[in-house]
Chain A
Amino acid sequence: MNASARRVAVLGGIRIPFARQNSSYARASNQDMLTATLEALVGTFSLEDETLGEVAAGGVLKHSRDFNLTRESVLGTRLNPHTPAYDLQQACGTGLEAAILVANKIALGQIESGIAGGFDTTSDAPIAINEDLRGVLLQFNRSGSNASRLKALTRLRPQQIVPQIPQNAEPRTGLSMGEHAAIMATEWGITREEQDELTVRSHKNLAAAYDTGFLDELVVPFLGLERDQNLRPDTSVEKLARLKPVFGGEQGTMTAGNSTPLSDGASVVLLASEEWAAAHDLPVLAYIVDAQTAAVDHVHKREGLLMAPTYAVPRLLERNNVKLDDFDFYEIHEAFASQVLCTLKAWEDPVYCRERLGLDGPLGEIDVDKLNTQGGSLAAGHPFGATGGRIVATLAKTLHQHGSGRGLISICAAGGLGVTAVMEAAA
């Protein structure tokens, strides 16, 4: 990183419990969730009437009317209305990318403080009008005379009543993300058992995080929900084994259990310069040290859609002169258990590391006891834009409790994207 860059402190983070689709938050909009989450952060860190450098947040599934959603949410909180804000979107990498953007501005001295976050609702989905109907209406609108308006309306057809529903599919392959993950699982020979074991570990770790009070300050209740709705503390490999495959056909290994469910939620983190933190008497939990994004060519080279973090992390490691096993904690977003396992196997594989990543040998192994120690997306759920904020806040607190050490964040995203970051404990 730039030698003149300042250190970027993570002061804390807050999220609302994640809900399963069409459940507790069925009637909550993205703006409702983000505003409530921001407001909780304001309360916790006494930011009432504070003018922050900026607030950056985003979500994947948004209504077109919500073009300035984050700014609107800021205006709905007790933050000073002079606080600027913007929306951004990078699929499941949105939340972490928001944190990277805010952190970079702090590092460069452009701002002193900021909030990064994300949100998503799969329940209050932006259903759009039929594309043909839209064409008719636009033509109607463009028409200058009554006659031509009438002509436009003659193109109305009954089937145009069918709306456009957002698809969970890759535009260039037509396959759902789960189907892509199933292809990866087959390519890497990932077994059902491995996936179910990882899933159980995720649930156990998240349940323990609630039980030990780790999540007390990180999660605030919302609409009557106090814990992540998807969490099954008593799940087991035996119970998961009963589920039928949902991706990859009859022989598939991926089930509703070892894949993340569609969910709703929001999260935010507070970032600042060390000076700002000291001036506001807020302890620093951890620092954001560096970040790296990457993309795979899943279209022409047919690379695994969710494998981009495998490219990003080696670049991150090289730039920071550290090895894969130099970390005390690893936060790898569990889009699917198979995705995490494919990533780990790829980094251990001499062929992949040499042919794809251009390394001399395997990148290395990760001690699974250091992986997603406070639970992962399989247990918590995965409101696309909200996952980055959940992970940054979790890792910051984990590092703070540990008192020292380094953490690695890796998030895969649609479009063959990967967003990764390194964090360090505040000594």
Chain B
Amino acid sequence: MSDRYQQLVNTPIGKIVTKQIGLPNPVKLERYEHGQPVISGPVLLGASPGGKLVAQAAKVLAAIDADVHTPLDEHVRTAVADASLEAKVWSPDAALEEQTFKALVFDASGIENSEQLRELQAFFSPTIRRVRASGRVIVLGTTPADCKHPRQATAQRALEGFVRSVGKEVRRGATAQLIYVGAKAESQLSSTLRFYLSPKSAYVSGQVVRIGASPLTADGIDWQLPLAGKFALVTGASRGIGKAIAKVLARDGAHVIGLDVPGLQRELEETIGDLGGSTLVLDITDDDAPARIATYLLEDHGGVDVVVHNAGVTRDKTLGRMDEDGWNLVLGINLTAQERIDDELLARESIRQNGRIVCVSSMSGIAGNAGQTNYATSKAGVIGMVESMATLVAKQGLTINAVAPGFIETQMTAAMPIATREAGRRMNSLAQGGLPVDVAETIAWLASPASGGVNGNIVRVCGQSLIGA
């Protein structure tokens, strides 16, 4: 699983050589360690005139005790003053060269037409080169569908192109994100903004997240243990990404119920035992699996708060060589089982109020991949499931979202031929593969009780892969 190229280019000589001949230069991404602050380093907060989200962003930055700087713009300064933030002043004309930022946060929600998009250039051109390693660029916008005027919707939609390009321009492990906030959803910003500011989102870049209104807010949540008192079912939890998910959810305070097939029982018990969770051993494709899961959850735990559909398999063959078993197995595990489990859990109301369903899709499901017609079909199906069920589950006070991992360093990718592996690793903005923990952190954000406004989203954990972008 080690990335020898990355180790090599980060040696003193390697750094010189890669710079001289222009090779990709993947830096070691900063990753979250339990208990560390959300962001370490100054945050520059700006807003276009009329930005409605800067006030909420200021509140979040105040809550995480960030070192905030803002332009001397009364709109922004009033917002930070209202949040009791003693923000420092930023002036591009007078700033010292050594002034750098860990994050740039810009509220573009006030942009009402294409001409006003110049606010982006005005704010970012003097600042983008001041972003530190593993830094963050976050643009806040209004969900285009919630815009009143076509010109406003057009300008807001234009933000996507801007942010995705910024993601490709920033260096040294920095990322860029766009957060669209819908009508009356301002108060839902906290969990998403915190996630994107923090090293938890190390391998997420160039993503567009839509936040909607929710009757529940993040008030009173313990951000160190957001899942305290919650029960989380993780399928395929014994190893790989599933194991990382179980660990991160347990770190966030959840009681993890790890599920895996009988063949992996020993590994499962080892993994989950360490976390103080419970195990459920069964094959999710069995006819009675959904009923057994629901019964277990209801009887042993009185229900569940988080369901993570992580279990998945590959049986790669080009379509001409694909046999029926290979097709059915992949579709059965990766998609049909999830549908059946969800249907059963929803029908028996086994998922408690403010519960979460998080699915694992894949970059293959978005972009397609030769030799993976079965796998890509199943993973695209997962996206379809999230999109089609979002409104439905919302009626039960739940959310459903998916993560779509790109190249993640696992035993599966370690077994790839070197050319395929290297291509997969490097062809993204961060020029490296992600780690299972990157997927797990993203799932933990979507699973947080504070993420009630995030519903029906597909978030890629791919370092802004060039594939399927």
Contacts and interface: CB of A to CB of B under 8 A. Distances in A.
Nearest to B88: A187
A350 B95 contact: no
B90 interface: yes
A367 interface: no
A362 interface: yes
Given A189-B94, A189-B95, A362-B74, A350 B89 contact: no
Nearest to B90: A189
B93 A189 contact: yes
A193 B94 CA distance: 10
B80 A351 contact: yes
B72 interface: yes
Interface of B: 70, 72, 74, 77-78, 80-82, 84-91, 93-97
A351 B87 contact: yes
Closest 4 CB pairs of A and B: A189-B91, A350-B81, A189-B94, A350-B78
Contacts of A356: 86
Q: Which of B74, B80, B90, B91 has the most CB of A within 10 A?
A: B91
Nearest to B79: A350
B81 A251 contact: no
A355 B86 contact: yes
Contacts of A190: 91, 94
A355 B89 contact: no
A98 B180 CA distance: 61
Contacts of A345: 72, 89
A164 interface: no
B78 A188 contact: no
Contacts of A251: 96-97
A323 interface: no
A138 B84 CA distance: 56
Interface of A: 185-193, 251, 253, 345, 348-351, 353-356, 361-362
Contacts of B96: 186, 251
B74 to A, nearest CB: 7
A140 B167 CA distance: 76
A84 B431 CA distance: 82
A348 B74 contact: yes
Contacts of B78: 350, 361
B94 A350 contact: no
23 contacts: A186-B95, A187-B89, A188-B72, A188-B89, A189-B89, A189-B94, A191-B91, A191-B93, A191-B94, A192-B94, A345-B72, A349-B89, A350-B78, A350-B81, A350-B82, A351-B80, A351-B85, A354-B81, A354-B84, A355-B84, A361-B78, A361-B81, A362-B74
A186 B94 contact: yes
Given A345-B72, A351-B85, A355-B84, A185 B77 contact: no
B51 to A, nearest CB: 15
Contacts of A353: 81
Nearest to B96: A251
A185 B94 contact: yes
Contacts of A185: 94
A355 B81 contact: yes
Contacts of B84: 354-355
Contacts of B91: 188-191
A350 B78 CA distance: 5
Contacts of A191: 91, 93-94
A211 B112 CA distance: 52
Nearest to A350: B81
Nearest to B95: A189
Given A187-B89, A355-B86, A253 B94 contact: yes
A185 B88 CA distance: 12
A187 B91 CA distance: 9
B466 to A, nearest CB: 39
Contacts of B95: 186, 189
A186 B93 CA distance: 10
A362 B74 CA distance: 9
Contacts of A186: 94-96
A300 B96 CA distance: 24
A349 B90 CA distance: 13
Given A251-B97, A350-B77, 17 more contacts: A185-B94, A186-B96, A187-B88, A188-B89, A189-B90, A189-B95, A191-B91, A251-B96, A253-B94, A348-B72, A350-B80, A350-B82, A351-B81, A351-B87, A353-B81, A354-B81, A361-B81
Nearest to B75: A350
Contacts of B70: 351
Nearest to B74: A350
B220 to A, nearest CB: 26
A343 to B, nearest CB: 14
Nearest to A362: B74
A354 B72 CA distance: 15
A181 to B, nearest CB: 13
A253 to B, nearest CB: 6
A351 B86 contact: yes
Please indicate which of the listed interface residues B86, B88, B90, B94 has the most CB atoms of chain A within 10 Å of its own CB: B94
Contacts of B86: 351, 355-356
B72 A189 contact: yes
B71 to A, nearest CB: 8
A362 to B, nearest CB: 7
B75 to A, nearest CB: 10
Contacts of A193: 93
Nearest to B87: A351
A166 B453 CA distance: 65
A268 B421 CA distance: 84
A239 B89 CA distance: 29
A361 B74 CA distance: 10
A348 B94 CA distance: 18
Query: Which one of A186, A192, A351 has the greatest number of beta carbons of chain B within 10 Å?
Result: A351
B87 to A, nearest CB: 5
Contacts of A350: 74, 77-78, 80-82
B27 to A, nearest CB: 28
Nearest to B81: A350
A355 B96 CA distance: 25
A353 B74 CA distance: 12
A362 B81 CA distance: 10
A185 B90 CA distance: 11
A189 B92 CA distance: 8
A356 B72 CA distance: 16
A188 B72 CA distance: 8
Contacts of B88: 187
B55 to A, nearest CB: 12
Contacts of B90: 189
Contacts of A362: 74
Contacts of A348: 72, 74
A123 to B, nearest CB: 34
Contacts of A188: 72, 89, 91
